[in-house]
Structure 1
Amino acid sequence: MALKITVIGTGYLGATHAAAMAELGFEVLGLDVVPEKIEMLQRGEVPMYEPGLEELLRKHVAGIEGSSGRLRFTMDFAEVAAFGDVHFVCVNTPQKHGEYACDMSYVDSAFAQLAPHLTKPALVVGKSTVPVGSADRLARELAAAAPVGAEAELAWNPEFLREGFAVKDTLHPDRIVVGVRSAHAEKLLREVYAGPVGEGSPFVVTDFPTSELVKTAANSFLATKISFINAMAEVCEAAGGDVVKLAEALGYDDRIGKKFLRAGIGFGGGCLPKDIRAFMARAGELGADQALTFLREIDSINMRRRGQMVEMAREALGGGSFLGKRVAVLGATFKPDSDDVRDSPALNVAGQIHLQGGQVTVYDPKGMANAGRLFPTLAYAESAVDAVRGADAVLHLTEWREFRELDPEALGEVASERLILDGRNALDPAVWRAAGWTYRAMGRPSA
């Protein structure tokens, strides 16, 4: 008999996982405690922008004409427990207010509400990013609270979704990692992921602590690589070098590779900053804090880039005050192909210039609504041209394809001054200079 799957938590991770499991042929029941979110999903709509997700959802949500009907939603934990053989927990683990550690309250609540209803054997699978050691505790608590006892088994299966590529990363993952304690749990998860494994996705079987460490270790490595090239950009600024050419030369070394070597205003979002800080906090609790002290400098380099972008803008505008200066900011999200503005370097830079007296107008293809809620005092335009109209300087801060394809000549017609600062090193300097723009980028003082 085919496995039935539930997904607890239908935010970014959960909605994607639920739709992907339905696409792989499973009957799926998603649960959330927010009525408005459930109502949206039942209409085949998603509360965030993620390319391809809404189309995949509409392909499977029950009640939508032409759908497979394999995906339904509920707010009832008893219904979830009765329905599912494998329960995926996909709730959020944000950073605690005023601390580096992550907030486990949503995960703990999900387990506490599910466990009392588990009256038949089931596998509960954590996908949330949690501090190492959490799975061991949750496994004990699950077995103690479930009527079925130890037959309510736990596994840990970290997610590796990239915003903008979440559907692809779920259906065709570059690896599947499972932390299990029994052959039975491994067998069930091999059945769940039979499709991707059959296509060649590696299936890595490990213990609880290792499976919990994989996501934070991966994000810490990526953050290190980004902050390394940004540190090199600082050196290039001082020495007169070109960080883009430096990165190109480094990237040809196959031990290093080209990815994540684009210098700029640094990383943001809901994962990398949160995860490296939680990793440091947990290492401290384990008495291994010295092993991760380098991450403090990684975090420091990353946050420093935002202030350096502000100072570059000040210098380009004459070196004095921002008062009376009109600044156009292209980009609000922390990365392209997303509407996520959490810890966005672009919005942070825009906000700093605004607080220092600049008249800042922001445009982003997908992040305007979220940006407006977070920074309501900034001005927002409906297009790049409208944002640039009358601007003394243009800051390119999120590398959307739309911005790379802008016509510098047409944009120059509406700008007050043809001055562009490339905070992502993603524009072609020759093209912009040919159109009469003064082009300046981070780590490329002479480019």
Structure 2
Amino acid sequence: MSTASAAPARKKASFPFWAQVLAGLAAGVLLGWLARTFDVAWLKELLNTVGTIFVQLLRVIVVPLVLTALIVSITQLRHVANAAKLAVQTLAWFAITAFISVLIGIGLGVLTNPGASASIGTEGARAVATQGTWLDFIKGLVPVNFLGLEASSRFNADAATVATSLNFNVLQLVVLGIALGAAALAVGEKANPFIEVAGSLLAVFQKLVWWVILLAPIGTAALIGRAVATYGWDLIAPLGIFTLDVYLGCAIVMFGLYPLLLKMHGLSVRRWFSGAWESITLAFVTRSSIGTLPVTQSNTINKLGVPQSYASFAVPLGATTKMDGCAAIYPALAAITVAQLFDIPLGLQHYVLIAFVAVVGSAATAGLTGAIVMLTLTLSTLGLPLEGVGLLLAIDPILDMARTATNVAGQSLIPTIVAKRNGILDEDVYNGRRTPDADDVRLAAAHA
């Protein structure tokens, strides 16, 4: 027998999913540049259409995915020793990292004065329609119906028609999911069929999301291409310092704060980035923590070694409430920028309020693309003009990519740290020394 025939067959080199997404990003930048530079109308329309369809596919699954994920995550706590302790520690670390992140945002804003250097006028500024106040935030916690659906109508004067659309309040879905999960735990054995159905539905919805996520390289090219073709440097330049501050703040948190916390807990920074990178890159292009949820949870369990029973609680909760990018760094920098644009001085009490809103009100962002509600909540708390939000909207999609990537990074970091602190982290899996057990393999197969 020849040596060649006896040698085991080599696996074909695979093209990692994160590399596919980055390739789509590069292709999108090129297509967007071509569409903008040469004013190719059909290419702009194609990028817009494909990008819109991709986002719509993700959004359509959000309601059942969030609801079933939270129900299952709460009921999973019955299998976890010291569940209450883990839950408290998770929320505490959410708050700690949010507080440090907002301090980083405030520090950058004070040092660079992004509003003072902005070449943009405030004469035509208008307040956005979507606003947030503490009263709205509190009322928003109470579901108006079972799925948190809200109807809105818009009158088209040119066509003399009224268009009605249904939207959903993710914050209300969070409350519903937690309440249903807690009720199932309280009922006991009689709720087992309900819990099994919720688990089955979650598996189905996760499968649907994975199918959509397989289209991410194409969606990435379209979304990035649309952003480049639509916005370009012309709109970014007037707020260039502010844009750089947001990206720098997110980079400091992701590549400075998070690695420091990992080192403090004796964990390899390289291994964590290797395990979380797929979800981080997907979040960057989709701009949705919830849309990235299945990838984040799978990576946290299968690559970082967090037990499934705990990760099933912590990661979905983080996807709806853990927002270091959208709820800490960005509102701090945006508030300082708006104040400087309108020549309103900020004192120590204002910075304290910014930090308070970031830590307490982060759930207002609710894992959706954009952070307008959180920003208006911050501005209204400080008494700053809400018209300032309109001045920042033009470049919001560009900023939201870095913000969401930071959010998702934190959503896998905190469960990893808490698991390590409580001695339940599988460090062999974390360090790549063995494959996950049978339960983890079944979860990984959900997207196969």
TM interval, short-chain normalised = under 0.3
State TM-score, norm by structure 2: 0.22
Give the structure, 1 or 2, with the largest relative contact order (CA under 8 Å, sep 6 or more): 2
Q: Pick the structure with more strand per residue.
A: 1
State TM-score, norm by structure 1: 0.22
In terms of Rg, which structure is larger?
1
Q: Pick the structure with more helix per residue.
A: 2
